[in-house]
Amino acid sequence: MGSLKWLYPGLKVKRWLLLAVLGFFLLVSGLAVALGVTLLGSAERSVRWLIDHTLGFWGPPILSGMLVAAAGLVMMLFGLEQLTRSVLHVLWPRDKSPWEVFYRRRLLEGGPRIVAIGGGTGLGVLLRGLKNYTRNLTAVVTVADDGGSSGRLRAELDIPPPGDVRNCLVALADTEVLMEELFNYRFRKGEGLAGHSLGNLLLAAMTDMAGDFVKAVSELGRVLAVGGRVLPSTLSRVTLGAEREDGTLVWGESRIPVPGQRIKRVFLHPADCRPPEEAVEAIEHADAIVIGPGSLYTSVLPNLLVRGLAEALRRTRAPVFYISNVMTQPGETEGYTVADHLRAIQAHCGPGIIDCVIAHSGPVSWAARRRYREKGAQPVAVDAAAVAKLGVELRKAWLIDETHVVRHHPDRLARVIMEEIYKRRAWKSPGRFYFMLRKKLDGPSVHARE
């Protein structure tokens, strides 16, 4: 009976469907009269009688038939247009055109399979750009966070910290802006509620209902119409530790960055934590893998230290890109260059993982440099010769977006990554046509290459 509900009155479907059918009938009948052939039998004879008694004064049947055919064509096209509008008005989000929805649901499904690895706000920025080029995205997110709302939920409910996962879900969401604001809403009052974001609480509730964190993330992704997948780098309850250059050990991701105290290495406890099978499979079948941007020691390396992920990256045939940070981070990468970031990754995971590093090339405004200098940060220097000695290709481009902070511009970064994927022929799909067309319309990206 459910399939018959379209017959109910008031749906604004049947009237336009009937108009389209009537238009098609007049189109065929008019052409038949104009050409002097018989296609529809008695129905067509009725149309001939109608033409003779109403339009006969226009002259020969060929002219009258063409007028009826033209009228039928107009009716059919108008009916189909209104029928389409009536259906899509219900299905597409109110803030998007139907063609945008069609593009995202069809053309982007043929985009490259990209795995993005990281955490924090940097990974969200990357995903916001890449989702405009493909829906085949898998975000592998760190779960070492132990501060703020995520840390409290982790300690109280014994679940992976949901904060970075929530950020990635919102970044990949194909839904109304209000829904994104709702998931990111942070309570300011209330005993036990203050400091928590609604998205974190929903993830915690979904985990309790589903009994599985990965399934909970998947279900919440369906609510947000996420164009991809979000996976934790491990389901084990891990603690991030660090050894500073003076030999002291620090436990807890939120306690590691201390300005003026350089980090020698970071590690996970337990060290034998394993990634979800879905994450390893995504890396194995990827067309490209992107690591970063994000805090080197507290967002990027905690993922690569999960036993099995670094090995999967070394085995994959897909190009692996590392997105270098634009600014140094006090307590983590003070004074670091691009090559220093790569050396830290190689020291923890061994060589042969990163194929290409993408770095910002160009000045940072004087005002931004002054603000960051007061906090002990500065632009990350691009030392091309040192990068080359590490056996890593360097791609320089204008990538930043300066507002109150200096960070990567989502679309600029995504375009450079897509150009690199295209150049390496790592992705063969009709969806590439759209990327080239969009690049042509938007104009060339501002970049240099070494």
pLDDT tens by residue, 334-362:
999 999 999 999 999 999 899 999 999 98
Burial tier of 418 (Cβ tally within 10 Å: 0-12, 13-18, 19+): buried
CA distance 223 to 244: 43
The rounded radius of gyration (Å) of the Cα atoms in the chain is 29
- Stronger pLDDT, 61 or 161, i.e. the higher one: 161
**Residue-level pLDDT at 59:** 55
Helices 198-210 + 163-172 axis angle, to 10? 100
pLDDT for residue 443 is more than 60: no
**Residue-level pLDDT at 398:** 93
Distance of CA 299 to the CA centre of its chain: 19
Conformation bin of residue 76: beta by default, left when phi > 0, alpha when psi is -120 to 50: alpha
pLDDT for residue 107 is more than 80: no
Helices 120-130 + 410-423 axis angle, to 10? 60
**Residue-level pLDDT at 155:** 80
- Stronger pLDDT, 216 or 108, i.e. the higher one: 216
**Residue-level pLDDT at 39:** 60
Q: Taking the chain, what is the end-to-end CA distance rounded to the nearest angstrom?
A: 65
**Residue-level pLDDT at 332:** 93
**Residue-level pLDDT at 94:** 54
Question: Is the whole model's pTM more than 0.75, yes or no?
Answer: yes
CA distance 265 to 156: 29
pLDDT tens by residue, 182-227:
877 888 877 777 878 888 898 888 888 888 898 999 988 887 778 8
Q: SS3 for 102-132, per residue?
A: HHHHCHHHHCCCEEEEECHHHHHHHHHHHCC
Backbone angles phi, psi at 442, to 5 degrees: -75, -20
**Residue-level pLDDT at 106:** 66
CA distance 344 to 194: 37
Rounded mean pLDDT, 418-424: 88
Task: pLDDT band for 11, please (50, 70, 90 cuts).
Answer: low
CA distance 408 to 323: 10
The strand pairing partners of 380, in sequence order, are none
pLDDT tens by residue, 18-31:
888 888 878 877 77
pLDDT tens by residue, 42-87:
655 666 666 665 655 455 667 777 877 888 899 999 988 888 777 7
Highest mean pLDDT among 29-43, 251-265, 375-389: 375-389
With H, G, I as helix, E, B as strand and everything else as coil, classify residue 233: coil
**Residue-level pLDDT at 441:** 45
CA distance 395 to 382: 10
Q: What percent of the chain has pLDDT over 90?
A: 42
**Residue-level pLDDT at 445:** 47
- H or E element in which residue 22 lies: helix 14-35
**Residue-level pLDDT at 380:** 96
Q: Count CB neighbours of 302 within 10 A.
A: 26
Task: pLDDT band for 40, please (50, 70, 90 cuts).
Answer: low
**Residue-level pLDDT at 446:** 43
pLDDT for residue 97 is more than 70: no
Would you call the peptide bond into 270 cis, given omega within 30 degrees of 0 as the criterion? yes
Two tokens at 244?
């500073």
Q: Count CB neighbours of 282 within 10 A.
A: 25
Domains plus CATH for the chain? 2-91 (no CATH), 104-142+233-449 (3.40.50.10680)
The number of residues making up the chain comes to 450
- DSSP label of 323: E
State the average pLDDT for the chain: 83
Task: pLDDT band for 96, please (50, 70, 90 cuts).
Answer: low
Supply angle C-alpha 108, 112, 113, rounded to 5.
110
